Amino acid sequence: MHNLNIRRLNLDSSWQIQWGNDSLLIDPWLSGPEIDGFKAFNIQWHTTEPLPYQELDPFSLVCISQPYSDHCHEETLKKLPGDFKVWGVKPSLKKIRKWLPRHTVVEIPDIRDGFLKTGAIEVAKITPNRLIDPIYHALIIKKGTHYLFYCPHGFSLTESQHKALEPYTCVLLISTITRFLLPAVLGGVINPGVENATGLISQLRPEHFINTHDEDKRAEGLVMKLAKVHYAGPKEWQLLENSPTTSHTVTDYAYLRL
């Protein structure tokens, strides 16, 4: 056991992590819709109510992995209780500082440049080998020689990125198994599906796997009219069950203890 407790905050891609004495939130979206650009382009709502704000356990850190509104959600960040700091990827920082002028907001460094540390927890990002938007980062949350790999839009590791992780042991991989495609001009592959997840399992050899960013949300706008979406079914879960890791389907707001 790693004294690692994790629970969903919604059925999409928001999480609370308790690792020993440290507690943090990842990509919280707990109320209101997410809007990309303008409503006619894309607006989405949860189909299952997220965890109420008052049921959050104490936390001191919020990590934002992507600048997009389903990960970097203005209403939620403004309503979160307590005094906390925010660590985010660079494209998210300007708006977070505008929304939360009294909070400490710091850029998450690339793993090549080291980690940010709070308590016993260290955090870094890995940037995809892609030069145009959308650029979907992965977060590394590390304690000692063990780490959690969070990539809500999947990830393709370069050889050097894989090598940077080799000194550590992957306790948990959190990634999508949904396949979500848009025309290339609107972003192309948004979620790469279960094959990407099984590829990461082969590379990282995590002890555990949890799916994320797989909620079938209520949506309006151009995006969903053009999107081709395939949610995981029995075939996809069979692939995961046959992989060398323990896979968990987390469908409620109870803690999973690892």
Asked if 21 and 165 touch (Cβ cutoff 8 Å), the reply is no
Q: In what order do the strands lie in the sheet with 85-88?
A: 105-107, 85-88, 61-64, 22-26, 15-19, 4-8, 256-257
Query: Tell me, what CATH number does 89's domain have?
Result: 3.60.15.10
Phi-psi region of 205 (alpha: psi -120 to 50; beta: other; left: phi over 0): left
Burial 163-176 (b: 16+ CB within 10 A, else e): ebbeebbbbbbbbb
| pLDDT for the residue numbered 123 | 98
Token pair of 169, please?
């042991």
| pLDDT for the residue numbered 224 | 84
Peptide bond between residue 50 and the one before it cis (omega within 30 degrees of 0): no
Residue 44 lies in a domain: yes
Residue 251 lies in a domain: no
For the stretch 196-225, pLDDT in tens is: 999 999 999 999 999 999 999 998 988 888
Residue 107 CB neighbour total at 10 angstroms:
14
Residue 241 lies in a domain: yes
| pLDDT for the residue numbered 255 | 96
Structural domains of the chain, count = 1
The helix/strand/coil state of 151 is strand
Pick from 248, 161, 237, 249: which is nearest to 204 by CA?
A: 161
For the stretch 174-198, pLDDT in tens is: 999 999 889 988 888 899 999 999 9
Q: What Rg do the C-alpha atoms of the chain give, in angstroms?
A: 17
| pLDDT for the residue numbered 104 | 98
Residue 256 lies in a domain: no
How does residue 41 score in pLDDT terms, banded at 50, 70 and 90? confident
For the stretch 17-33, pLDDT in tens is: 999 999 999 999 999 99
Residue 258 lies in a domain: no
For 187, residues 6+ apart whose C-beta sits below 8 A from its C-beta are: 133, 134
How does residue 256 score in pLDDT terms, banded at 50, 70 and 90? very high
How does residue 81 score in pLDDT terms, banded at 50, 70 and 90? very high
Q: Residue 97 pLDDT > 90, yes or no?
A: yes
Residue 255 lies in a domain: no
pTM value? Answer: 0.96
Pick from 52, 76, 55: which is nearest to 64 by CA?
A: 76
Q: What one-character-per-residue DSSP string does 21-61 give? A: TEEEEES---SS-EESSSTTT-EEE-SS----GGGPPP-SE
| pLDDT for the residue numbered 234 | 87
**Which residue range forms the structural domain that includes residue 193?**
4-246
Residue with the larger pLDDT of the pair 226 and 213: 213
Residue 254 lies in a domain: no
Residue 34 lies in a domain: yes
The percentage of the chain sitting over the pLDDT mark of 70, rounded to a whole number, equals 100
